[in-house]
Amino acid sequence: MVNMRRMILLLTACCTIIGGACCADEISARADSSSPVKRKKIIVLVSKGGNGHMAACNVLKESLPEYDIQVLNPFDIVSSFNVVKKVTANKLDGEQFYVTLVQHNLVRTASFLAKYPAPMFFHMRRNYFVKQIVKYLQKEKPDLLLSTIPYFDYAASTAAQRCNIPFLLVTLDANLYMWLGDFKKCRKNNNYITVAVKTPLVMQQLEKCNVDPCRIYEVGAPLRKDFFEHKDREKILAEWNLPRDKPLALIIRGGTGSSQLKLYVQTLRKLNRPLHLMVCVGRNAELARQIKKIPSEGTVSFTVIPFTQRISDLMAVADMIITQPSPNVCNEAMQSGVPLLIDLTGPCLFWEASTMDWIKARNAGAAFKKLKHLNRLVAECLEGKLKFSKTRDKEPRFNAEIKKLIHHILDEQSKKTVSNKTDELQCCSATPNLPVSPKGLKAHS
């Protein structure tokens, strides 16, 4: 009887201990499930040299709210080697110098510097850039390195490889010359590359760099969501004080503005038909003052438009857009379904000339090679003699494609990490090999 009581007490104690442990495990599991999940971090390399780079970065932020997006201008961590800063006594850095050249329409100089001295400089300093980016990655510990900036991509890819994270290059041009310097040496790296359109030139350039075709993704152009919104024409006209009884032509040369805009206004003033010009000067305040001094007489009038984030509204009410072959502006115009009149009257930035490949593929516009031909082309466009396609995407293709691609990249990386850890555990748990006696000799007992 005493033994029976002892057994019952012992069983009760065991059940209490086991039950308590189970409850503790359940409480712990609930606590773990309620704790916030750490978001994966993506570092995005950007440039302030052109509005297209920052626009692409903003689209990435819109598309990937579930990730921790951290923006980095690589020049900020390699500033001691910014040659232009030294030459200009810290008045301008390389990107600001480029912007100044474009604003003053010094296109040949900008193209020469971008095609020859710049690649040479980045080639000579590539190992230094790799070390600096590696230091930054080791400090921040991201899950993915993404670049929307040319020149730095060999260093970025190599640094990502050394830190055992994937590298995604999001290209923005129809000519990848500046994006692929030394990239042949990165063919064994964990790289992924996106292009807006797989044109023959782009695919030829990537093939020369031995890029695996399976790692090249056509994702469309990064466009802000406001380019896919329904637009209220009357509201936009009232907001900008634009005329309702005249056709509207949007004149734009990117966020930096250009002195070429002044020539457009002076030429189009001679057009003998009603037309109102929306002249987008960007951040170029001096250019705005110069254009406002031009007399507004006859049938052609104009409004000077400063830098605005709502360029999609102006494109929505425009009957045509006059611009240079800037990738960002042209992609926005094609999405807006507005005919493009492209200025090829002089030399353009060599990487922008290939944007005509995109425009021709979509039959979205025409080019003029002499300024005196501009008025005739505008008149033909207004009369409907030039037939252009006005097809546009209903949904932001880039947003969906880039999201899907980044999910895939990070899933693949997670599988590799799990596989590597499994291999390490198997290696550690394996029975160590015992020393074997040399053949022909007997082991001593």
- Whether residue 433 is predicted with pLDDT greater than 80 in this model: the reply is no
Q: Is the pLDDT of residue 425 over 70?
A: no
**Rounded average pLDDT over 84-111:** 82
Residue 406: per-residue pLDDT: 97
- 7 pLDDT above the threshold of 70: no
| Torsion sign across C-alpha atoms 268, 269, 272, 278 | positive
pLDDT digits (tens, 9 = 90+) for 176-225: 999 999 999 998 999 999 999 999 999 999 999 999 999 999 999 999 99
When pLDDT is cut at 50, 70 and 90, the band that residue 48 belongs to is confident
Contact 54, 254 (CB under 8 A): no
Structure confidence at residue 82 (pLDDT): 66
pLDDT at 271: 92
Write down the domain spans for the chain: 41-78+125-223+398-412, 225-382
Least confident of 18-22, 234-238, 388-392: 18-22
Confidence label for 426 from pLDDT (cuts 50, 70 and 90)? low
pLDDT, position 445:
33
pLDDT at position 434 is: 42
Q: What is the mean pLDDT of residues 273-299?
A: 90
pTM of the model: 0.83
> In the structure, what pLDDT confidence band is assigned to residue 437 with cuts at 50, 70 and 90?
very low
pLDDT value, residue 93: 80
pLDDT tier at 31, thresholds 50, 70, 90? very low
Q: Does residue 312 or residue 13 have the better pLDDT?
A: 312
The alpha helices in 163-300, defined as continuous H runs, are 200-208, 233-240, 260-268, 285-292
Mean confidence (pLDDT) of the chain: 86
**Where does the pLDDT of residue 11 fall: very low under 50, low under 70, confident under 90, or very high at 90 and above?**
very low
Work out the average pLDDT over 278-300. Answer: 89
One-letter amino acid at 340 equals L
Give the per-residue pLDDT at 424: 59
Equal fold, 41-78+125-223+398-412 vs 225-382 = yes
Topology of domain 41-78+125-223+398-412, per CATH? Rossmann fold (3.40.50)
Least confident of 135-149, 177-191, 385-399: 385-399
Range of lowest pLDDT (107-111, 145-149, 202-206, 258-262): 258-262
Going by pLDDT thresholds of 50, 70 and 90, the confidence category of residue 170 is very high
Q: What is the pLDDT of residue 68?
A: 97
Sequence-distant (6+) residues with CB within 8 A of 8 are none
Q: Can you read off the two tokens belonging to residue 26?
A: 């359940």
**Helix locations, 35-152, DSSP H:** 51-63, 83-87, 94-103, 107-115, 117-124, 126-140
Residue 223 near residue 332 (C-beta atoms within 8 A): yes
Assigned token pair, 297: 């007489």
Six token digits for residue 354: 């290939």
Residue 211 to residue 188: CA distance in whole angstroms? 9
DSSP structure string for 366-423:
EEESSGGGHHHHHHHHHTT-S-------SS-HHHHHHHHHHHHHHHHHHHHHHHHHHH
Q: What band does 78 get if pLDDT is binned at 50, 70 and 90?
A: confident
Helix segments in 249-396, DSSP class H? 260-268, 285-292, 311-317, 327-336, 350-353, 355-362, 374-382
Give the angle subtended at the CA of 77 by the CAs of 76 and 83, to the nearest 5°. Answer: 70
Lowest mean pLDDT among 76-90, 134-148, 168-182, 428-442: 428-442
Tokens of 182: 């030394």
- Assess contact for 259 and 103: CB atoms under 8 A: yes
φ, ψ of residue 136 in degrees (nearest 5): -65, -45
Residue 233: the pLDDT is 96
Q: Of 22-26, 38-42, 62-66, 362-366, which gets the smallest average pLDDT?
A: 22-26
Percent of the chain scoring above 70 in pLDDT: 84
Q: Which two tokens stand for residue 307?
A: 């830098």
Q: What is the CATH number of domain 225-382?
A: 3.40.50.2000
